[in-house]
Amino acid sequence: DIQMTQSPSSLSASVGDRVTITCRASQSISSYLNWYQQKPGKAPKLLIYAASSLQSGVPSRFSGSGSGTDFTLTISSLQPEDFATYYCQQSYSNLSWTFGQGTKVEIK
Amino acid sequence: QVQLQESGPGLVKPSGTLSLTCAVSGGSISSSNWWSWVRQPPGKGLEWIGEIYHSGSTNYNPSLKSRVTISVDKSKNQFSLKLSSVTAADTAVYYCARMYEIVVVAATRYYYYYMDVWGKGTTVTVSS
């Protein structure tokens, strides 16, 4: 299995802050990396696919970058509705799609 | 637009079989997508369980493969999950999701997959 490791596990930030979340794969996955946002009691929502492509309807303050083993999700100016848990997911190997453990973004 | 809805018993006895169904509306299950199950234990992260194509082809998480069966019913536009020999560790919210495929053609073809449509999830508790 390809292991996905996110950092940090949680962070505290204020509205307007620039936030960066990192995801590292245990082997190269090219750009086969997706990002999801999950709010409490809700299903995950796709934000970014193919490492850097913004899903339709997702605000442009969200962006993704990276290739190979290291990836980042950036929120350029944190909004109140962005407080949530974020997951990366590799789509390189369908022998087993795997998620990172999640990063919880909390209000400072 | 495509919508997904999970259904099934919310309580399953230990050693029993968990059975869930995901109804697809607003689109055909025979479209060029895979259909997945993902679960989330209380307070924990997401775990992919497996997926099925309308042809019946399946892929399963190796850690669950011996206990999982995913099937498709094209006549009812739905797919189903069975997880056998359940224990308390299988208590979770279970989601169904569409695994969308896009193809980028450059020097070669690149196939990208992502879960773009999710059901609301259903809670399954394993307890006697």
pLDDT above 80: residue A108:
yes
pLDDT above 90: residue B42:
yes
Residue where the block lists tokens 């919310």: B10
* DSSP annotation string for chain B: --EEEEES-SEE-TTS-EEEEEEEESS-TTSS-EEEEEEE-TTS--EEEEEE-TTS-EEE-TTTTTTEEEEEETTTTEEEEEE-S--GGG-EEEEEEEEEEEEEESSSEEEEEEEEEE---EEEEE--
Q: What is the pLDDT of residues B64-98, one digit of tens each?
A: 999 999 999 999 999 999 999 999 999 999 999 99
pLDDT of residue B122: 98
Give B88 to chain A, closest Cα distance, Å: 20
Sequence-ordered alpha helix ranges (H) in A57-107: none
| CA nearest to B48, candidates A75, A1, A10 | A1
Sequence-ordered alpha helix ranges (H) in chain A: none
pLDDT of residue B28: 94
Give B74 to chain A, closest Cα distance, Å: 23
| CA nearest to B126, candidates B18, B35, B46 | B18
pLDDT above 80: residue A1:
yes
Residue type, B49: I
* Residue A55 per-residue DSSP state: P
Show which of residues 21-50 on chain A sit within 8 Å of chain B, judged by CB atoms.
32, 34, 36, 38, 42-46, 49-50
